[in-house]
Chain A
């Protein structure tokens, strides 16, 4: 039940992200709600929840993106594990918004490189095409700014999902 609510939460956020991207993108760049949710889940939720979120978000992203299936799942899993490892270094600063923003910026950069390297491995194995990292990196600064803007609303959204998980699954999330 807990993971079903988390899955529905991720699905809704991805739908909103895609719908907004279709209408309000700036130079084809839009905030990555899914990535922001993963950053927040990696910092605040348990390891199991973070892994489940990475798997669910990754599979959904793989289904709706043109990249070979598996690229986003693997990228998200590695990203979540990396944030969890890094999180140990600043465990006392969890509530600090600046620390969160720092992790978010690092996650955005890491996400681009991870997605590229994983898709490149897939391409070399003949499992699909890769994408241009240079082209993607040209818009990374704009995405980072947009991500920073939506970080707090996504955090509030995560609190809402957590409350629902607590109410219906009876397990403490944060």
Chain B
């Protein structure tokens, strides 16, 4: 009788859900043992101790029994390459006019693996082989067959996303690419000055259509970065390259997230002084290229202690989204505190995407993006049991097809070689 009732409820109101019988990790507040979360129409309606849940009248809802596990905000990856190649081609080092959203295969199995890892929001980026490789896109991993079904719309209906830039050795190449660090910075400065002039022309034109410059997609995009509406996500490894980015940010006053920051621990005070957040990559061993030989698990701790807001990222395919929580856990191994580790894959990441008011914590009014874990988020033995985006279940470990993507196996991978950020200019080869 009870079972059939629950089934009926399930079919009637799929998006109204009560999560109960587990620990709630809101991230922005203390953990709630024996907590509850109540979701209606994809939004969080209440969060608190189980005893405080007041059943709404006249509304049916589904109950998700957390079976003593934990629930936390859906994980947010600030730097991912799932969905294929895209962004600029090899014709020039700066191509801000290109959009990664025009290149994403939304049916790539990588997305199924990502939700199996508890990820609900990604910043999908073009690569680092350009000084500016194009516009990034922030996506929700909703059940959808098209990229449009996964876009995040801003209040003004614009598509949410940033701009990818890079320095160091990756964008250095034969002409028309720069050959040195000095040339790299000069090219970027020159182009940003053009964008400043373009923006000024528009401003000066006012209502006079005749004085408007012809529309230029590249300069338009750079102008968005300069006026702060589009955050620059900047690939950078070595300490001197990090300082170069900070120098340019100061000169042109653009909003910035530093990505990878292998040497970030060497210039933590300077990054803190500039008040720039950092999104960190964790790799099992140092090197792979010269500018990453001093990469260290301690980066998260050192930056946090300096007062920098940190996130971790998968850089998927560089690291596997199903093991995203391993990155902050390895940060903890080197001394990072647990609270920051939790924030680093949720609210801090959301804020780096200007989405902190919508996602990244379990608070009333926020999107119901959540992940159900069998135990502590940072234990190797914890399993992700379910993932929800805006109240819709996008991963269920009890479904055999979902389990396939969680574990790998026949049909869970990609036949094609993927894009691997930064790989293009290194020696090596082989498999």
A in complex with B: no
Could you tell me which A residues sit within 8 Å of B by CB distance?
none
Could you tell me which B residues sit within 8 Å of A by CB distance?
none
